[in-house]
Amino acid sequence: MIRYIFQRILSVLPTLIGVTFVIFMFQRLIPGDPAIAMLGEHATDESIERIREQLGLNRPLFLDREALVDGDLQGFFDSQYMRYMARLSRLDLGDSIHRRIPVMETLKLRFPATVELSLLSMIIAVIIGIPVGIVSASRRNTAIDSISMVGSLIGVSMPIFWLGIMEIMLFAVILQWLPAGARLSTGIEIESITNLVLIDSLITGNMEGFVDAISHIAMPAVALATIPMGIIARMTRSSMLDVLQEDYIRTAKAKGLGGRLVLFRHALKNAALPVVTIIGLQAGTLLAGAVLTETIFSWPGIGRWIYDAILGRDYPIVQGGTLLIAIVFLGVNFLVDILYALLDPRIRYK
């Protein structure tokens, strides 16, 4: 098992290096650069040149062939990518080009906001999606089954954008139960420990803060949970149905075990395998969906931040942010692999 974990970790590294390379290259292949994005219509050529020089954008992308001809080995490696990798090896993600704030500093503030939102959405999706799937499978072809499957189909195909706006209209504008956006009301202060406001407010016993935080996160979390919820429900159902037709389930039933026991003790564990995989993959969908959700609900996370950085050609933010997302995605799927090995002994012994 340890060897298996070790192997998995090793295989993640080249992927990460590949990710840095791809992000780096694709950003620079799109036309328009930070200098133009920064100065807009009013830019003069002198200031554009000056910014390019300051940011090192006048250096070659990967390797400087001319320096090699001159025998300048240091100059040969002094390229934009190598500079970036050198900084990265010191865990320095660089400064935002527009705001000049270290990317790491902003990440520390914003990433927890996205994590909080995504985690809560995932929890909602799992605690609703899996039971719905199980009930559907066990009451196959009944009205409950049809209703929940139509419901989950709607969930899967729901445009988050539209759902978010509808939520705001209903709960914030018409009923006035919840605020229309943001993470906290102005004036509410929560001491930051983990930067997850729900947890921080509980730790510090700040009930007012907790209620405020819950009222702000409720709508975006539900909006973001809709798609994974539908997918998980459908996956659980079909996986359960497969397993329920297996011989050993028939044997268990023949032994006279009760329906519930068969369902939860025997069927669910095996049916969980594909569901766990799907949950892992949904981590990516959640992070992608976060861009839209964060935009509609003015949620100060990394989705919207990276999106703005792409438009502003703020390379260090895009590089740092996407790298972090890649790490999270790989990390979640790494956990899924481990979980898989725990659930399915066949994998461990291979």
Partner 1 sequence: MTKKLFYILIALLLFSALILGACAKEPEGEKIPLTLYYMPVSRFYYPSPKEIAEAMAADMANAGFDVQLELAGDWPTYLGLRREGNLDGLYMLGWGGDNGDPDNFLNYFFGFSGEDKVGDDPAAWVKSPEKREGWYANTDVAYLLYTASITPDQAAREAMYKQVENILHDDVVRIWVDHNNTPLVFSSAVSGYVPQPVGADYFEGVVVEGSDTFVFGRGGDSVQLDPAIVTDGESFRVTGQVLEPLYQYEPGSTKPIPALAESCTPNEAGTEWVCVLRQGVKFHDGTDFNADAVIFNYERQRFTDHALHFESQVYEYYGAMFGGFDDASIITVVEKVDDYTVKFVLSEPLAPFLANIAMDIFAISSPAAMEAAGEDYGLPSNGAVGTGPFKFVEWIEGDHITIEANADYWGGAPAVDQIVFRVIADDSARFLALQAGDIQGFEQAVVEDLATAEAAEDLYVLTRPALNTGYLAFSYKIVEFQDVRVREALAHAINRQGLVDNFLGAYGEVATNFLPPLIWGHDDTIVDWEYDPELSKQLLADAGFPDGLSEVTIDPAYVTEE
Report the first-to-last Cα separation within the chain, whole angstroms. 10
The answer to whether residues 293 and 168 touch, using CB atoms and an 8 Å cutoff, is: no
Shortest Å distance, C-beta 232 to partner 1 = 28
300 binds partner 1 (CB under 8 A): yes
**315 lies in the site for partner 1, by CB under 8 A:** no
Which of 65, 100, 260, 350 lies at the binding interface for partner 1 (CB under 8 A)?
A: 100
Q: How far is the CB of 263 from partner 1 (least distance, A)?
A: 40
In this structure, the chain runs to a length of 350
Q: Which of the residues 28 through 67 are near partner 1 (CB under 8 A)?
A: 29-34, 36-48, 50-51, 54
Integer-rounded Cα Rg, in Å, for the chain is 25
Residues 105-144 binding partner 1 (CB under 8 A) are 106, 109-110
Residue pair 320/24 in contact (Cβ under 8 Å)? The answer is no
Residues 6+ apart with CB under 8 A from 170: none
Distance CA 56, CA 79 (A): 8
Stretch that binds partner 1, among 182-190, 238-246, 267-275, 332-340 (CB under 8 A): 182-190
Q: Is 250 in the site for partner 1 (CB under 8 A)?
A: no
Give dist(CA 10, CA 226) in Å, integer: 35
Least Å distance, CB 33 to partner 1, is: 7
For partner 1, the closer CB: 218 or 273: 218
Q: Which of 143, 186, 260, 345 binds partner 1 (CB under 8 A)?
A: 186
Counting contacts by CB under 8 A, is residue 327 touching partner 1? no
Nearest distance in Å: CB 214, partner 1: 17
What 3-state DSSP class applies to 102?
A: strand
Contacts made by residues 5-14, CB under 8 angstroms, sequence distance 24+: 5/338, 8/334, 8/337, 8/338, 9/334, 12/330, 12/334
Binding site for partner 1 (CB under 8 A): 14, 18, 22, 25, 29-34, 36-48, 50-51, 54, 95, 98-101, 106, 109-110, 164-165, 168-169, 172-173, 176, 179-183, 186, 295-298, 300, 304-305, 308, 311-313
